């Protein structure tokens, strides 16, 4: 060949290459963006699919990389489909020639000549199954080899291969048929999925398991022939049955998955912290529980671990598909009135402020807070109670009293810092109603903050995904958290308050319930040594459900769910008492430390948890002057009579008297009243004594009266009552239950519908009171 011929050949080669490059630029292969065109799947912490969402075309495809697929699958795929994949330029002429000769000899297709790259070319665009189409497929394969690396081509196949129905890609197939990610495939499963794209409809393992087994064994035979897998592995894989789930999309934690997709709209695989086993157990328990509740009632539950605040189970509604119960509404995220569930934070903050200890004396009696007059659930009042009792009984007046001293603005700010954003009515500012649920928040915010009571005072927003940053926030001090949790834990379990039943097998739990106004929301939140669990029960549309309240509806479900959680050994950090906490004997009514040298000041001795060595005295009554302190020092003569220097020259000694708050006196036994009474003045000093305020007296019934219905009268016996000598408003209580509030000059009429012995109490705004006992007879 002379130089002219060589020149022409080089020129023709250059022209051919230029034409190829030009055609490649003019007609590039349509390489898809797998990430943007994929479906979305939400995974549990162990990789179990919770819920899958199809892409815009209705295709179930979940993006996956080579590293996220079991090496067994890659070995089976290349060993069966394209043994020379890593070496050929997109076309394997030897395989193509072999397939052509075999087809001509047997007059049917015996083996395919398409490389994996050629199969990808057909997957990314429709190509006719004819001779022209085959040429076009080969050209596209070469284009792909020029433009992409081998790993990129293999990744396209892993994501686009058809597996029957609307399933594309090995990850989606593994989830759909086997319920596991492709990284966890066994040898047998890898061989099955390697061959399935050849005839995805004919060999679907959920419909035709025997056909699928035969196809799988062909792959195993090929791998055995070339020694890709040891013979023992091949034999074990052949012995494994083909078992596949019905082709359906996973639907666990449905509302949680929807929330995650909204929070992470650009992620196609969302790895969450949910424990698949715990999730399934809670969903089943709640679904079975709903038969106990009224129609159209829903329920929600959230479980997190205390230390990391990772969501372990999230049930947004009782039944996702139940339209009557509005199952599509996520009540974990919904903003609702929290009822009394904020009270533990209120008392914890008061502990940190040095206002109270666990046995501080509070007064549960009708009170007026600048026009706001809270009442208890059921309108009962208990008189003098401790902080622990007020919290466990969820008493409203003591909580509002403590909030007034902390101030609503401080309380709202501290809760916001803890991750609990309180929604107030438009234009409203933080106010005293917050203590009783006059605001709105969500179950997940409450649970994240409650975790502080089981984690040394550290709480904060819950974590939904493994990638989420842990946002630890100091909610209260470790000591305050420990004291409040102990007070709540002393509830015991409903029906077993002292822990006599199965004490070794049942989970310890500190719990608090809440009920919103009008019985619209029932709450129960519990803290165990390892978990915090929140439950909401109600109607998502806000319709009241009379008789359904936290302790009756949500608490039993909370206990049932808590008992289903995985047991974890060890609770050392939960039990360890912080150094800032210790026990101390305190005395009522002053609330101070017990002093053996002054026993007259200790009318009731109680054992209290105190914080940082502080023993704050009983809170002064609001609006009282310093001269009205509960501690009074008077001078008494030898006969115990009160004297003054101005009216008596007889020797005297100082006596300290401990007074009860005036609003507590109606509930005190006579012994306590006598112990706190100031001695009478000596005869020579009576003229100098201060004027005595008028005593309130009930008019309309005498003490010990007996009432019965008159013969022939159907109406219940009634009494018209007045409070003589009263000032301001008068609160009328029947056996501790508020029955009326009236101005001092206005009488009330009460009908006694039931027979029995009753105590009627009248209490005015000064704390003056009178009580009578009446017996109502049955006719």
Q: Assess contact for 383 and 667: CB atoms under 8 A.
A: yes
CA 209 – CA 192 distance, rounded (Å): 10
Question: 181: Cβ–Cβ under 8 A, 6 or more apart, which residues?
Answer: 43, 47, 68, 171, 174, 175
CA 247 – CA 201 distance, rounded (Å): 12
Bridge partners of 740?
A: 732
Q: Cα dihedral sign for 251, 252, 253, 256? A: negative
Measured in whole angstroms, how far is the alpha carbon of residue 553 from the centre of its chain?
A: 17
Bridge partners of 313?
A: 303
The full length of the chain comes to 779
Residue 516 exposed, middle or buried by CB count within 10 Å (0-12, 13-18, 19+): buried
CA 41 – CA 63 distance, rounded (Å): 10
CA 605 – CA 750 distance, rounded (Å): 39
Compute CA distances 741 → 142, 363, 399, whole Å.
92, 18, 21
CA 196 – CA 164 distance, rounded (Å): 8
For residue 589, whether the previous peptide bond is cis, meaning omega lies within 30 degrees of 0, is yes
Q: What are phi and psi of 681, to 5 degrees?
A: -70, 145
Question: Which residues belong to the active site?
Answer: 81, 340
User: Exposed e or buried b for every residue in 737-767, given b needs 16+ CB within 10 A?
Assistant: ebeebbebeeebebebeebeebebbbbbbeb
| DSSP H helix total and E strand total for the chain | 21, 25
Q: Assess contact for 530 and 568: CB atoms under 8 A.
A: yes
User: Exposed e or buried b for every residue in 400-430, given b needs 16+ CB within 10 A?
Assistant: bbbbbebebeebbebbeebbbebebeeeeeb
The pair of structure tokens assigned to 417 is: 């810092």
CA 281 – CA 288 distance, rounded (Å): 11
Q: Assess contact for 382 and 736: CB atoms under 8 A.
A: yes
């Amino acid at each position: 060949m002379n130089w002219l011929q060589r020149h022409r050949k080089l020129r023709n080669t250059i022209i051919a290459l230029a034409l190829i490059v030009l055609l490649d630029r003019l007609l590039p292969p349509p390489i898809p963006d797998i990430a943007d065109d994929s479906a979305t799947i939400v995974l549990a912490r162990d990789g179990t699919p919770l819920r899958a969402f199809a892409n815009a075309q209705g295709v179930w495809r979940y993006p996956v990389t080579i590293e996220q697929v079991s090496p067994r699958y890659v070995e089976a795929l290349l060993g069966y489909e394209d043994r020379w994949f890593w070496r050929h330029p997109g076309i394997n002429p030897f395989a193509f020639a072999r397939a052509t000769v075999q087809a001509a000899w047997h007059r049917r297709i015996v083996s395919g000549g398409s490389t994996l790259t050629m199969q990808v070319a057909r997957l990314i665009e429709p190509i006719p199954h004819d001779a022209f189409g085959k040429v076009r497929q080969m050209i596209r394969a070469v284009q792909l080899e020029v433009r992409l690396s081998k790993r990129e081509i293999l990744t396209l196949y892993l994501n686009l291969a058809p597996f029957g129905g609307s399933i594309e890609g090995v990850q989606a197939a593994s989830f759909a048929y086997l319920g596991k990610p492709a990284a966890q495939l066994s040898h047998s499963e890898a061989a099955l999925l390697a061959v399935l794209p050849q005839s995805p409809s004919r060999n679907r393992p959920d419909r035709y398991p025997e056909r699928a087994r035969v196809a799988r064994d062909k792959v195993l035979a090929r791998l055995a022939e070339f020694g890709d897998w040891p013979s023992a592995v091949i034999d074990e894989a052949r012995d494994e049955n083909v078992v596949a789930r019905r082709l359906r999309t996973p639907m666990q934690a449905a509302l949680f998955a929807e929330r995650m997709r909204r929070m992470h709209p650009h992620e196609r695989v969302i790895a969450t912290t949910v424990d698949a086993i715990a999730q399934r157990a809670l969903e089943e328990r709640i679904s079975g529980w709903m038969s106990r509740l009224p129609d159209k009632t829903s329920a929600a539950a959230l479980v997190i671990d205390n230390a990391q605040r990772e969501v372990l189970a999230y049930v947004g509604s009782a039944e996702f598909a139940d339209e009557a119960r509005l199952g599509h509404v996520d009540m974990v995220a919904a903003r609702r009135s929290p009822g009394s569930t904020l009270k533990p934070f209120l008392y914890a903050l008061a502990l940190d402020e040095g206002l109270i200890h666990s046995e501080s004396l509070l007064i549960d009696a009708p009170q007026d807070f600048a026009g706001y007059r809270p009442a208890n659930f059921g309108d009962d009042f208990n008189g003098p109670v401790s902080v622990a009792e007020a919290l466990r009984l969820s008493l409203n007046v003591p909580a509002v009293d403590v909030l007034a001293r902390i101030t609503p603005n401080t309380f709202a700010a501290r809760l916001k810092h803890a991750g609990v954003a309180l929604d107030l009515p438009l234009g409203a500012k933080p106010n005293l109603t917050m203590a009783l649920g006059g605001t709105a928040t969500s179950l997940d915010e409450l649970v994240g903050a409650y975790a502080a009571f089981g984690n040394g005072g550290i709480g904060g927003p819950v974590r939904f995904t493994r990638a989420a940053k842990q946002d630890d926030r100091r909610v209260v001090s470790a000591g305050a958290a420990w004291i409040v949790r102990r007070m709540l834990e002393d509830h015991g379990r409903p029906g077993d308050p002292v822990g006599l039943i199965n004490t070794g097998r049942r989970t310890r739990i500190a719990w608090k319930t809440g009920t919103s106004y009008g019985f619209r929301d029932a709450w129960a939140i519990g803290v165990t040594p390892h978990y915090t669990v929140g439950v909401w029960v109600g109607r998502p549309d806000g319709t009241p459900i009379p008789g359904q309240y936290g302790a009756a509806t949500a608490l039993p479900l909370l206990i049932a769910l808590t008992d289903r959680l995985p047991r974890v050994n060890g609770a050392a950090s939960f039990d360890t008492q912080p150094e800032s906490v210790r026990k101390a004997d305190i005395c009522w009514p002053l609330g101070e430390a017990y002093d053996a040298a002054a026993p007259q000041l200790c009318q009731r001795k109680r054992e209290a948890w105190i914080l940082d060595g502080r023993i704050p005295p009983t809170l002064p009554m609001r609006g009282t002057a310093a001269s009205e302190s509960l501690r009074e020092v008077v001078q008494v003569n030898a006969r115990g009579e009160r004297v003054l220097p101005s009216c008596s020259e007889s020797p005297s000694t100082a006596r300290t008297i401990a007074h009860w708050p005036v609003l507590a006196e109606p509930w005190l036994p006579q012994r306590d009243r006598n112990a706190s009474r100031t001695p009478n003045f000596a005869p020579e000093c009576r003229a100098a004594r201060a004027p005595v305020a008028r005593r309130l007296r009930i008019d309309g019934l005498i003490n010990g009266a007996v009432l019965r219905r008159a013969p022939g009268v159907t109406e219940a016996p009634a009494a018209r009552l007045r409070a003589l000598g009263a000032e301001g408003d008068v609160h009328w209580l029947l056996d501790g239950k508020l029955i009326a509030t009236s101005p001092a000059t206005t009488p009330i009429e009460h009908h006694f519908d039931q027979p029995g012995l009753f105590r009627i109490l009248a209490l005015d705004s000064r704390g003056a009171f009178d009580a009578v006992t009446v017996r109502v007879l049955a006719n």
